[in-house]
Structure 1
């Protein structure tokens, strides 16, 4: 284990967080993978497990305006001409705190051509009896109001069978329609009668999803959850609180190379291209902070 890798454990759960992107590199329950992992060195494929801040998903052309200023973020998704997943996924996050069952990592966002604010962002991963509890927090440590949005980016693994054979439940009544070429917002639609209606658990099949959902339906405890089960009976759940009114689902379809290896489940504070639409953007005044939490756990039946 290198100095930038942090292994934690509790009961039947083990996890590895990495300084690269503040990412969850590995999560296992009794030796079974609950997320798609990646190597200890090199790049992170497909943004697996990273923290996406200070915006989730895409910004069209990397351009936006905020409080009278114009900003140009680096276009890192060149084939679609967008700025994807914020500014800290490529950073080396510092170790802030560590115990046998938890680790907290942090990174800074500095003002520049692509962003007006100065943020301190931290993520804590803590294993408990009922799974991996995660919290991301951002504090405005600068002198200007800063726009903010965030999401985690894990790819869940229900079991050994192909993704098409998993059954999935997604508690969302609406989804965002997107352009075929750039995956940018084009409007909202209801899931009723659509292939994306997974309000009741059903087999995923060959449906391809890379869309944001909303109209989320929490349980009596105020928490919403996506659940996926393998035909063998093993499963995985990602549960989140009301801090995340949006949810990105991606079936990990790849035109080249291994495809549909897992199911990306990404609670989001705001939808794609939010810095242009203004939808759900959090305004962090100097000294203000925002935090949001989610949990990943093993299921079986």
Structure 2
């Protein structure tokens, strides 16, 4: 019997100048290239996915303090999987097996279930559809509550974007344009403390709305108050000095975006890329309730993101 690679069954999508590789574990975006150039930091098919690269984060993104929360009068305790911060991080979907239910040369739909378990006693079906075309790679996720009671839910994605080669301190020379008018400050455990305007805090150190070089700025923050176009689309761009780079866009289902400059990575991966993570809710939303979704029994909710290359 042949076994799948460590990252699960592999699915390759091609259209125009784009090629994407999707891994079955976590329905993860394993690699994405445009004209042969990496748009996201890739990982190998037979490699344990590092640093949540390309993962889907559900039923909560980011951290839940102490892994504890209270919903509808009931207390819940999640498994602590980030020891340094004593928190439950990035949900339950990232290590699930997703199986293909539809596929052609340019699209695949993968299905997986978050099963009821201690700390999260709801069953939620996730259908993740990746489709590739001349305008880049689109990811659409449909979350369906198959439980008898309302399920608390939040979602995000975790691509590490590139505007050149992924190498140590590469981000210092790249320009970031990101739409957030407010930034969520955090404590030493990366848990939220205060929401402040980006143009009023520390001389605008986190204000990237007009686009500027990242240089020495350290980012591991959630932003909201997102600027959107007339179609409700928000966008963030990461570019090199010659204008090449990567753009990510998302719809109104996500009112937050976490941006991380990989400062906690070591060796060649330190500040090698920028994780731009559109999310439906902020960190610790299971406790704060801010923008936390409650999916009714039998109800489905949909979310969409797109990544494309800039030339």
Contact between 1:218 and 1:225, CA under 8 Å: does it hold in 2? Answer: yes
Corresponding position: 1:145 with 2:150 = yes
Find the aligned partners of 1:263 and 1:213 in 2 and give their Cα distance: 15
SS in 1 for 2:204: coil
User: What is the count of residue pairs matched by the alignment?
Assistant: 299
- Paired residue for 1:182? 189
Shift of 1:91: 1.1
Shift of 1:116: 2.5
Contact between 1:158 and 1:228, CA under 8 Å: does it hold in 2? Answer: yes
Once the two structures are superposed, what CA deviation does each residue of 1:159-205 show, in whole Å capped at 9, x if it has no partner? 238211111101110000100x2100101011103211001011110
Find the aligned partners of 1:176 and 1:71 in 2 and give their Cα distance: 25
The unaligned stretches of length 5 or more in structure 1 are none
Find the aligned partners of 1:139 and 1:210 in 2 and give their Cα distance: 30
CA-atom RMSD in angstroms: 1.3
Shift of 1:255: 5.2
Contact between 1:36 and 1:48, CA under 8 Å: does it hold in 2? Answer: yes
Find the aligned partners of 1:90 and 1:40 in 2 and give their Cα distance: 14
- Paired residue for 1:283? 294
- Paired residue for 2:117? 112
The runs of at least 4 aligned residues of structure 1 exceeding 6 Å deviation read none
Corresponding position: 1:156 with 2:161 = yes
Shift of 1:42: 3.1
Contact between 2:265 and 2:271, CA under 8 Å: does it hold in 1? Answer: no
Find the aligned partners of 1:249 and 1:61 in 2 and give their Cα distance: 22
Shift of 1:88: 1.1
Corresponding position: 1:228 with 2:238 = yes
TM-score, normalised relative to structure 1:
0.96
The unaligned stretches of length 5 or more in structure 2 are none
Find the aligned partners of 1:107 and 1:60 in 2 and give their Cα distance: 26
Contact between 2:57 and 2:92, CA under 8 Å: does it hold in 1? Answer: yes
